[in-house]
Structure 1
Amino acid sequence: MICPRCRSTEAGTVAHSPVAGHWTMNSCSVCWYAWRSTEPATATDPDAYPVEFRLTAEDITTAPRLV
């Protein structure tokens, strides 16, 4: 699975709907973006995710850290 926000391959399913087959919850362990399978393509598809909200590996490594 590819993360829509940072395009990492470190994304995966973290939960399933209580009613089987309704949705899955996915999360990226690199940028911590999370999305449900029922959201629109702009939130779930790496190619449709808005360019202005995408993160690069450099964005992630140089982001300020909160202490």
Structure 2
Amino acid sequence: MSCPRCTAAAEQLASSPVPGVWEILRCVECLYMWRTTEPARRTTRDAYPEAFSLTRSQTDSAK
């Protein structure tokens, strides 16, 4: 899965006690975190608000 905010890779941090219900993911670049049960505007790049999207150069300059 990729980050909806900057398109970098995401890693799984946690999962629900009931298998397959939800996962918590975190971007390895911008550190954005989300739960897989959140709405598309928080979980997919196409629906993520453009005003809050980041490019690779923006994440690189923030480090």
Output the TM-score relative to the length of structure 2: 0.89
4+ residue stretches of structure 1 with deviation over 2 A? Answer: none
Question: Alignment identity in percent?
Answer: 48
Q: By how many angstroms is 1:11 displaced?
A: 0.8
Counterpart of 1:41 in structure 2 is: 40
> Which consecutive unaligned segments of at least 5 residues does structure 1 have?
none
Of structures 1 and 2, the larger Rg is shown by: 1
In the alignment, the residues of structure 2 paired with residue 60 and residue 6 of structure 1 have an alpha-carbon distance, to the nearest angstrom, of: 8
More helix by share: 2
RMSD: 1.2
Q: How many residues align?
A: 63
Residues 9-57 of structure 1 show CA distances to partners (whole Å, capped at 9, x for unaligned) of: x212221111222111111111001100110000001111000000111
1:4 correspondence with 2:4:
yes
Task: Extract unaligned runs of 5+ from structure 2.
Answer: none
